Chains A and B, each alone.
Chain A
Amino acid sequence: MPDITRRHALGAAVALAVTAGAPLTAAAADDHGDHGGHDGPEAFDEVYRGRRIQGRPAEGGGHHHGAVYAVFVDGVELHVMRNADGSWISVVSHYSPVPNPRAAARAAVDELQGARLVPFN
């Protein structure tokens, strides 16, 4: 099986931090221009179609080439992944890449039609 345990543990830690009220900085600008670099997209925090969506680089992201970035919908982590070309997908919209994590979060809200996410573990 793929080694997903460490990343999942990391996701759980981030979820705990958010639940505990760790501040998330709203992005001042859209997170374009992140193509192939080692720096992840910036954080965001907004209400989209009645759901709070948040994203930010996850702790320890620098250890792993490619994105370690956490996205949340109403506080529940949405598993996202960056493709080699800089586009993004999530587990609820896996086969349809979008330009950045915010777009992945919005696509997830569209797909969910109000349903709650199930935490992955």
Chain B
Amino acid sequence: MTIRKNQATLTADEKRRFVDTLIALKRSGRYDEFVTTHNAFILGDTDNGERTGHRSPSFLPWHRRFLLEFERALQSVDPTVALPYWDWTVDRTPRSSLWAPDFLGGTGRSRDGRVMDGPFAASTGNWPIHVRVDGRTYLRRSLGGAVRQLPTRAEVDSVLAMSTYDMAPWNSASDGFRNHLEGWRGVNLHNRVHVWVGGQMGTGVSPNDPVFWLHHAFVDKLWADWRRLHPGSPYAPAAGTPNVVDLDEPMKPWNDTTPAALLDHTAHYTFDAA
């Protein structure tokens, strides 16, 4: 059974295996397929039209399935690897071990945002940015550059306290847990973290930065935490909602799973701590 651990607790060997596996997926071309899929949904999901991966109730089950697909790809290279999560309420500075050269590498240099250390620095030759929206082929970051502070634990708790999963109009204007976690409204959790990292993480091709997976693994854990806090609160909407994935409707691009089938993460993995 896969156990997803807090990245701060990984051993040196676990970090090395995770990094090596990412680089193997990158070399094979499979990594970039995930970047392409994410960007297609970023471009296609709209508040007044069809919306599946983002700005909609299925933001959480869609990313749960997307991460499961990615984790299975990792495990096809090294079966011992699981996705770690980044609790950005605790590891909230560029000095966190997350950004050390033995793991993800640090922030970009000021001149052009280029990441200069770690296994994903362009100079290694192991991490070319192929799926991109501009001409730059190197990984970029500006940790804390565009927004100073990552969300605090108190801000996370204020969102976890919202008992309604999602509300009409089921988009970036909604009240409720999903949109506050996604960040289009309120204190802004998920979106703000993308902006805090900067570089490709601020763009539609955000999975180019491996921290994408650790960020979303924590967002996914917050959904699990929320379900435990509100056992009587269902996924919504239940049925009959145009352009929106209802509880029992299949989700693109897989078309073989529904939000209902993804509510219980323990069928696929557990977390190291409640």
Contact = CB atoms under 8 A, between A and B. Distances in A.
Interface residues of A, number: 28
Contacts of B44: 1-4
B43 A96 contact: no
B191 A113 contact: no
Contact of A85 (B43, B52, B172, B192): B172
B252 interface: yes
12 contacts: A1-B41, A2-B43, A3-B50, A79-B43, A83-B172, A84-B47, A92-B134, A93-B202, A115-B135, A117-B135, A118-B133, A118-B135
Given A66-B46, A95-B194, A4 B134 contact: no
The A interface is mostly helix, strand or loop, or mixed, namely loop
A82 B48 CA distance: 10
A81 B203 CA distance: 13
Interface residues of B, number: 41
B191 A65 contact: no
A112 B50 contact: no
Which of B46, B183, B184 gathers most chain A CB within 10 Å?
Answer: B46
A49 interface: no
Interface of B: 39-50, 52, 55, 112-113, 132-136, 146-147, 169, 171-173, 183-184, 190-192, 194-195, 202-206, 252-253
A30 interface: no
A46 interface: no
Interface in A68-101: 79, 81-85, 91-97
A110 B93 CA distance: 24
A3, A4, A64: most-surrounded residue (chain B CB, <10 A): A4
Interface in A100-121: 111-113, 115-118, 120
Given A84-B169, A84-B171, A96-B202, A91 B43 contact: yes
A83 B173 contact: yes
Contacts of A85: 172-173
Contacts of B169: 84
Contacts of B135: 115-118
